[in-house]
Amino acid sequence: MGNKRVVADSSRCIGCQTCMAACIEAHDIPGNIAAPRLRVTRTYEISAPVACHHCEDAPCAKACPTGALFFDPKNHRIGVNEDNCIGCKSCSIMSGFGGGAVSVATTQVPVLMGDVRVGSQTKSFVLKCDLCVDRPGGPACAEACPTKGLTLVDEERLAELTAERARATIENEA
């Protein structure tokens, strides 16, 4: 079984960015950064979310010198270990999916001495789709999409969807 991923049906996307808002909300928890792990892109009259494809060969994870990105066989995805991120952006450069599928953000985090805050420091975070594996309902983006244009699929289902779309294209051209 291959990795899972969230796929977008651009014919259903209305560009509302509800998926991005749901992603921000899902990650707005202590120890995480409230930022979307996908981006809605627009080209002419078409819009669609772009997110990590959780590639089997994962060039982003191979480029990471610290293991902040890793293959997670339990959840069939490329996982993130935020504690290991040093902000080098090698992952973002090597990701084959531009437009924000993998990016790096920085934020200020407290420096503690015991339970006392003694200052703050800059911390880098890899921002990429984590498939909301800790969320019982699955990916927040897919659940929130008002047009049901986002779906969590495995490689087998992706092949079926690709074949269905190819057949539809052929039928429309005939």
Closest CA to 126 of 63, 72, 83: 83
What is the average pLDDT across 26-55?
86
Mean pLDDT score of the chain, rounded to an integer? 86
pLDDT band at 99 (very low <50, low <70, confident <90, very high): low
Model confidence at 94: pLDDT above 90 = no
Model confidence at 5: pLDDT above 80 = yes
User: Looking at the whole model, is its pTM more than 0.85?
Assistant: no
pLDDT band at 69 (very low <50, low <70, confident <90, very high): very high
Q: What percent of the chain has pLDDT over 90?
A: 30
